[in-house]
Amino acid sequence: MRIGFDAKRYFLNKTGLGNYSRDLIRMLEKYAPENEYLKYTPKTGDQYINQPTSQKNIRLPQGFINTTWPNLWRNQRIVQDLKKDKVDIYHGLSGEIPLGLAKAHIKSIVTIHDLIFLRHPELYHPIDRWIYKKKFKHACEASDRIVAISECTKNDIVDLFHIPEEKIDVVYQGCHEAFKTIKTEEQKANLREKLKLPQDFLLNVGTIEPRKNILPVVKAIKDLDIPLVIVGKPTRYYQEIMAYLQQNNMENRIFFFQGLAMEELAVLYASATIFIYPSIYEGFGIPIIEALYSGTPVITSKMGVFPEAGGPTSCYIDPTNISEIKHAIISLLSDSSKRDEMIEKGLEFVQKFNDELVAKQMASIYASL
């Protein structure tokens, strides 16, 4: 079969949706090579185009209209290119599919990551909410199959868009291979020296925004002798955190980083004493999976999708309860045998997200269409 992908984020997004797109296509190319995978994108940027083996499967808009209005191409005119390329199935990897696929007799699948804009509308501008709802609802109704990245997201699709649950498959995300290799003590020491980090620290990874909710952790460690490393792009929420740090003379105890190379990030995960992820809402929570593969104990939120990602032996807290967060941190820092048990059981649990399993499940859905 020929599978076409909406690869805009594959090439142009360096975090969440981009990582999902790159990881899924990489897994499929490796473990389901019986299909041909074509990547359709308005442009490539300069990050991945230089891989010669993948250039032949990249499709860009052609002609004056499509190159002048690439969004029009991606949302509608792309169908003509899919027909010309004899694509059997088009997979929208980020909640969107173009108009006219069914009329062109091209089967379609859409991946829905989350419906946060409906569950927490206060986090989004009204115009953005309207656009997202229109795009996602159309994709869910018009596609032949829907892939949800968690049971939590599947339930939201059924509840909020009234889609029959038998139309939806849950296929969990995998993660980058960098997190799955054992890191040496030398690698860890070198990175700590480069970033000027202490031996023990808490780690949080994700955009620094209200939904990720890292400020309660900062407050929880105010009187604890443990620093916190935060890796992510800052938003206005960052200023709120900085104001608290300055008021409480904590500036030298919180380390902020962004733009780390994937290998550096993987070593950082493996170096952390505890990974803490107090997010309010996620479609899945891939940093939890990255931490478990890295052999790092996880503290995360007790509601929503997080137990799905963290498994039975991660530590779960109310992300709004500062004293509960503080108690969880103290308990794990003071009990190395408990941390060792969480590492061992976490590594066992996370094998359900292995690349081959994810690829075979997705390839089976393609074959069913």
Residue 15 pLDDT grade (very low, low, confident, very high; cuts 50, 70, 90): confident
Q: Taking all residues of the chain, what is their mean pLDDT, rounded to a whole number?
A: 93
Residue 361, exposed/middle/buried by CB under 10 A (0-12, 13-18, 19+)? middle
Strands (E), the chain: 2-6, 36-40, 58-59, 89-92, 107-112, 145-148, 168-170, 202-205, 228-231, 254-257, 274-277, 298-301, 315-317
pLDDT at 220: 97
DSSP-derived pairing of the beta strands 254-257 and 274-277:
unpaired
Instruction: Quote the number of domains for the chain.
Output: 2
Measured in residues, the chain has a length of 369
Look up residue 58 and give its two tokens.
């990249």
**196 and 279 fall within a common domain:** yes
Does residue 222 contact residue 244 with C-beta atoms inside 8 Å?
Answer: no
pLDDT at residue 222 is higher than 60 = yes
The reply to whether 149 and 271 lie within a common domain is no
Q: Which of 44-53, 116-125, 172-181 has the lowest mean pLDDT?
A: 44-53
Same domain? 181 vs 168: no
| 205 and 246, same domain (yes or no) | yes
Q: Which residue has the higher pLDDT, 173 or 159?
A: 159
pLDDT at res. 49: 47
Q: What local confidence, expressed as pLDDT, does residue 284 receive?
A: 87
In this predicted structure, what is the pLDDT of residue 45? 80
The answer to whether residue 266 scores a pLDDT higher than 60 is: yes
Average pLDDT on 78-105 reads 96
Mean pLDDT of 263-278: 97
Higher pLDDT, 342 or 19: 342
Whether 149 and 214 map to the same domain: the answer is no
Give residue 310's pLDDT.
95
Which pLDDT value is given to residue 82?
A: 97
233 and 345 co-located in one domain: yes
Q: Are residues 81 and 167 in the same domain?
A: yes
When comparing pLDDT for 49 and 28, which is higher? 28
Confidence of residue 56 (pLDDT cuts 50, 70, 90): confident
Residues 219 and 338 in one domain: yes
Residue 214's pLDDT band, with cuts at 50, 70 and 90, is very high
Tens-place pLDDT, residues 319-361: 999 999 999 999 999 999 999 999 999 999 999 999 999 999 9
- pLDDT at residue 52 is higher than 50: no
CATH of the domain at 315: 3.40.50.2000
Instruction: Provide the CB-side half-sphere exposure for 238 (13 A, CA).
Output: 15
pLDDT at residue 368, as a whole number: 95
Q: Which residues contact 242 (CB under 8 A, 6 or more apart)?
A: none
pTM for the whole thing?
0.86
The pLDDT value recorded for residue 13 is 83
Same-domain status, 289 and 227: yes
- Confidence band for 213, pLDDT divided at 50, 70 and 90: very high
The more confident residue out of 304 and 138 is: 138
Residues 303 and 219 placed together within one structural domain of the fold? yes
Per-residue pLDDT tens over the stretch 106-155: 999 999 999 989 988 988 899 999 999 999 999 999 999 999 999 999 99
**Domain encompassing residue 44:** 2-174+354-368
